[in-house]
Amino acid sequence: MKDAAMQIPTLDDMRSARDRIRPHVHVTPVLTSRMLDEMTGAQLFFKCENLQKAGAFKARGASNAVFGLSDAQAARGVATHSSGNHGTCLAYAAGRRGIPCTVVMPHTAPQAKKDAVRGYGGIVVECEPSTTSREAVFARVVEETGAEFVHPYNDPRVIAGQATCSAELIEQVEGLDAVVAPIGGGGMISGTCLTLSNLAPQVKIYAAEPEQADDAARSFRAGHIIADDAPDTIADGLKVPLKDLTWHFVKNHVTDILTASEDEIVEAMKLTWKRMKIVIEPSCAVPLAVILKNPTVFAGKRVGVIITGGNVDLDRLPWMEGVMP
Amino acid sequence: MKDAAMQIPTLDDMRSARDRIRPHVHVTPVLTSRMLDEMTGAQLFFKCENLQKAGAFKARGASNAVFGLSDAQAARGVATHSSGNHGTCLAYAAGRRGIPCTVVMPHTAPQAKKDAVRGYGGIVVECEPSTTSREAVFARVVEETGAEFVHPYNDPRVIAGQATCSAELIEQVEGLDAVVAPIGGGGMISGTCLTLSNLAPQVKIYAAEPEQADDAARSFRAGHIIADDAPDTIADGLKVPLKDLTWHFVKNHVTDILTASEDEIVEAMKLTWKRMKIVIEPSCAVPLAVILKNPTVFAGKRVGVIITGGNVDLDRLPWMEGVMP
């Protein structure tokens, strides 16, 4: 990609995405909890993308990519590499359009995620749990199938799709002071930046990241992308590094990147299950963990919290014996 | 109660309840799942009272009772006996009004439910896990405090409150053919009957009950109330027997009462967590369990499913080792 500037999605791209994906995704509900408000001193508005089609916000970006393809492109199918939800969601979108979908994912990914891809008719090809192995195996798959590559996050179609989430949120909740979303590769954060910087520039955008996979936070401080090859965290959706497109949005529009420990993430996850009665992944608990950890940043504020997905292995919950190291 | 007929709540009582409780309860969302529709052959609309204030539909009836009290009555507080959620919800409503609330509950009730009552400022008094012990301990509490008794279900104020749930549901979903709700004492089912028999009499009403606590199903077949003293089921919200008011509604308006085994209930519970991404109690899984078990009854139909509550002990989930007998 020589001229990355040409690829940066715009507000019009978000609006087109919203029209394109409307038949394929839910307008997800926003939930609140008096108890969590009391605990944090903030007013929290949880945008429940765990209740999204295929169980994650990534249904938005994947649907936008799949339904934006020409018939000729679509006939060759789509392919991606993904630590989980993007693969599931691309398989979901491809299934809706009736085209093939191949997903490269680490053999260590939760069985539930592999089953989910297959459940939507996708093909799973396994790789080692590192970015380098994933990219090598993927290159072979694309060469063999001729499929259209839909990157999990560093793709303008995907970012424009994810951007529809915040567009809904600011229609559902008035007067937000801040939005907090998890950051892995930065697709959701980039979509959030795209929409809010244009439509609600007064809203501060915070990214939340596991301490044990804090490459985005270190990139943010350093002023350039720092990528780790295989970080280890319970928040398995957040292990991937920033790329040029997502770095563009992070660098220009994010107020801060805050981190939480593994224990803090698990505690926030369990608290959300208990108080909100929703099933969320460890990755989605990172925003609440950083809000609980940084009360002075958020107290007295109206804060949108993006709950990104709910695809967990119910037989391996982090508070079950033997699951956490 | 000499003239029970005088106590039967009316559609006007439901409408008054709806106005009275509006500031204190959520209009809960209705969720759908393509996967569960495919598995059942029906179109299912899940009315998510697990996302209700205090985690259960019982916030409706409790709020209606508490906010309908005169100031003089309210000053003496309220009291109840409850296997769990009604107690929590009465404490919630009393807390909103700033009046005392005493809850008698079995010492075997989940710790999470005792904590929840106390968390809302209620006082927990423990009894043995049988209907007879519960009623004896409770009589003493009322004598000592002079509190207003709000029965968990056999109370016209409570039934009118629960009836607001179906009033929302038929506004949220058009053309329902049937509604399925769990049955224990029959409060939710009675409220459902009250609303639907008046506003949508074409909608069939099914009650769902654990096989191991099937007193309502046996009552329904026998034509009179049969009460068991201490049935044993994982669906701990459904152990209590029908009483005269709820029997009135069940006998006159319920199409059938269907039952499910313990294993079927746990499987439906886990399936709901996995597919719907919501935390539900075993009691709420009984409707989905009977729908899965009786495909010929529900296939091709538009079916409302009342998800009654989400208050579970996350450290004692039924699929964890050693929890089920």
Q: Which residue of B has its CA nearest to A319?
A: B315
Pick the CATH number of B4-56+155-307 from 3.40.50.2000, 3.40.50.10420, 3.40.50.1100, 3.30.1360.40: 3.40.50.1100
Alpha-carbon distance B169 to nearest alpha carbon in chain A (angstroms): 16
The three-state secondary structure class of A65 is: helix
For the cut 80, the answer to whether the pLDDT of residue B83 exceeds it is no
Residue A83 confidence class, pLDDT cut points 50, 70, 90: low
Q: Which residue of A has its CA nearest to B313?
A: A274
For the cut 70, the answer to whether the pLDDT of residue B302 exceeds it is yes
**Domain chopping of chain B, boundaries:** 4-56+155-307, 59-149
Alpha-carbon distance A226 to nearest alpha carbon in chain B (angstroms): 34
Alpha-carbon distance B30 to nearest alpha carbon in chain A (angstroms): 10
Q: Which residue of B has its CA nearest to A27?
A: B31
Which of A27, A38, A277 to mutate against chain B (most B CBs within 10 Å)?
A: A277
Residues in B touching A315 (Cβ below 8 Å): 319
Q: B322 or B282, which is more confident?
A: B282
Mean pLDDT score of chain B, rounded to an integer? 93
Residue B311 has what pLDDT? 86
CB pairs under 8 A between A and B: 51
In angstroms, the Cα distances linking B271 to A28, A89, A269, B278, B289 are: 20, 19, 20, 10, 10
Residues in A touching B112 (Cβ below 8 Å): 274
Taking an 8 Å cut-off on Cβ atoms, the answer to whether A319 and B319 are in contact is no
Which of B35, B266, B277 to mutate against chain A (most A CBs within 10 Å)?
A: B277
Residues in A touching B280 (Cβ below 8 Å): 277
Who contacts B173 (Cβ-Cβ below 8 Å, separation ≥6)?
A: B30, B45, B302, B304
Q: Which residue of B has its CA nearest to A280?
A: B277
Q: At what angle do helices A11-21 and A156-172 cross, to 10 degrees?
A: 80
Residue B105 has what pLDDT? 87
Taking an 8 Å cut-off on Cβ atoms, the answer to whether B119 and A320 are in contact is no
DSSP per-residue codes, B133-173: HHHHHHHHHHHHH-PEE--SSSSHHHHHHHHHHHHHHHHHS
Alpha-carbon distance A189 to nearest alpha carbon in chain B (angstroms): 22
Q: Which residue of B has its CA nearest to A53?
A: B33
Residue B122 has what pLDDT? 96
Taking an 8 Å cut-off on Cβ atoms, the answer to whether A273 and B314 are in contact is yes
Residue A1 has what pLDDT? 38
Residues in A touching B277 (Cβ below 8 Å): 50-51, 55, 278-280, 310
Residue A82 has what pLDDT? 79
Q: To which residue do tokens 């608990």 refer?
A: A285
Taking an 8 Å cut-off on Cβ atoms, the answer to whether A320 and B320 are in contact is yes
* Residues of chain B contacting A, Cβ within 8 Å: 29, 31, 34-35, 50-51, 53, 55, 112, 119, 270, 273-274, 276-280, 310, 314-315, 317, 319-320
* Average pLDDT value for residue range B84-104: 95
Residues in B touching A266 (Cβ below 8 Å): none
Q: Lay out the sheet containing B123-127: strands in order across.
A: B123-127, B101-106, B78-81, B148-149
CATH of domain B59-149: 3.40.50.1100
Residue A129 has what pLDDT? 82
Q: A91 or B131, which is more confident?
A: A91
Residue A32 has what pLDDT? 94
Six-digit token string for A215: 């490459």
For the cut 50, the answer to whether the pLDDT of residue A3 exceeds it is no
Q: pLDDT digit string (tens) for A125-180?
A: 999 988 789 889 999 999 999 999 999 999 999 999 999 999 999 999 999 999 99
Residue A2 has what pLDDT? 40
Taking an 8 Å cut-off on Cβ atoms, the answer to whether A314 and B270 are in contact is yes
- CB-count burial class (<10 Å; 0-12, 13-18, 19+) for B242: buried
Percent above pLDDT 70 for chain A: 98
Q: A108 or B75, which is more confident?
A: B75
Contact B176, B170 (CB under 8 A): yes
* Average pLDDT value for residue range B206-219: 97
Tell me which residue of A122, A71, A113, A125 sits closest to A93, measured CA to CA: A122
The Cα–Cα gap between A188 and A192 comes to 6
For the cut 50, the answer to whether the pLDDT of residue A4 exceeds it is no
Residue B2 has what pLDDT? 40
* Average pLDDT value for residue range B173-178: 98
Six-digit token string for B66: 């508490």
Mean pLDDT score of chain A, rounded to an integer? 93
* Average pLDDT value for residue range B57-82: 96
The Cα–Cα gap between A245 and A242 comes to 8
Residues across chain B = 325
Residue A270 is nearest to which of B29, B314, B319, comparing CB atoms?
A: B314
Q: pLDDT digit string (tens) for B223-239?
A: 999 998 778 999 988 98
Q: Within its chain, how far is the Cα of B281 from the centroid?
A: 11
Taking an 8 Å cut-off on Cβ atoms, the answer to whether A279 and B280 are in contact is no
Q: B237 or B41, which is more confident?
A: B41
Q: Within its chain, how far is the Cα of A207 from the centroid?
A: 11
Q: pLDDT digit string (tens) for A10-54?
A: 999 999 999 999 999 999 999 999 999 999 999 999 999 999 999
Taking an 8 Å cut-off on Cβ atoms, the answer to whether A35 and B274 are in contact is no
Residue B254 has what pLDDT? 98
Q: Tell me whether the CATH fold assigned to A4-56+155-307 matches the one assigned to A59-149.
A: yes
Q: Which residue of A has its CA nearest to B38?
A: A119
- Side-chain half-sphere exposure of A55, counting CA atoms within 13 A: 30
* Residues of chain A contacting B, Cβ within 8 Å: 29, 31, 34-35, 50-51, 53, 55, 112, 119, 270, 273-274, 276-280, 310, 314-315, 317, 319-320
